[in-house]
Amino acid sequence: MKHLLLILSFLLPLSAHFDDEDLYNFEKRCMVCHDTYVQNEMAPPIIAINQRYKKYYGDMDLSISKIKDFLISPSHEKAIMQPAIKLYSLMPKQELNKKELEAFPEIIMLLDYDVPEWFDEHYKSHNLKD
């Protein structure tokens, strides 16, 4: 896990300021289900969330705000990834503290994620459309 934290810290843009605790908590609280580098059956990978919000809203600040709002109270009405809900179901509400609610949406949107080899096939095989 320390290796991933080190990698994540190098990927952050210079304008983003996340401490090791933010990154550690993101890894522990989010990547357990939303792992981008290992295909899983629990939740959409973080890269899918990142790409979808960028494409859907086109504005970084709005995307971050919408993710934060969804994290506060996940609902079908707030969800923009309906095919993912069909595959994985709606994400249950997470008990996040104020610092995590501020940091996690920014980490999701501001990190640069490598596209794993399996991702394109996953996308095609589930007929995931905008």
Quote the tokens at residue 64: 């971050």
pLDDT one-digit tens code per residue, 62-94: 999 999 999 999 999 999 999 999 989 999 999
- What share of the chain has pLDDT > 90, as a percent? 58
First-last CA distance in the chain: 33
Considering only CA atoms, which of 47, 45, 49 is closest in space to residue 70?
A: 49
Q: Rounded to an integer, what distance in angstroms lies between the CA atom of residue 126 and that of residue 83?
A: 8
pLDDT of residue 78: 97
Residue-range domain boundaries for the chain: 19-123
pLDDT one-digit tens code per residue, 11-61: 444 445 678 999 999 999 999 999 877 777 899 999 999 999 999 999 999
pLDDT of residue 13: 46
Instruction: For domain 19-123, say whether CATH 1.10.3710 is its number.
Output: no
pLDDT one-digit tens code per residue, 33-45: 998 777 778 999 9
